[in-house]
Amino acid sequence: VIQKAENPKAIVIATGTEVDLAIKSIKLLKIPVTLVSMPCMELYDTQPFEYKRSLFPKGVPIISIEASCPYPWEKYSHQHLGVQTYGVSAPAPKVYEYFGLYPEKIAENINHVVDFYKDREVPDLLDRP
Q: What is the residue-averaged pLDDT of the chain?
A: 93
Tens of pLDDT along 20-55?
A: 999 999 999 999 999 999 999 999 999 999 999 999
Report, as ranges of residue numbers, the positions in the chain whose pLDDT lies below 50. none
Determine how many CB atoms are found less than 10 A away from the CB of residue 81: 27
Determine how many CB atoms are found less than 10 A away from the CB of residue 86: 7
Q: What's the pLDDT at 90?
A: 84
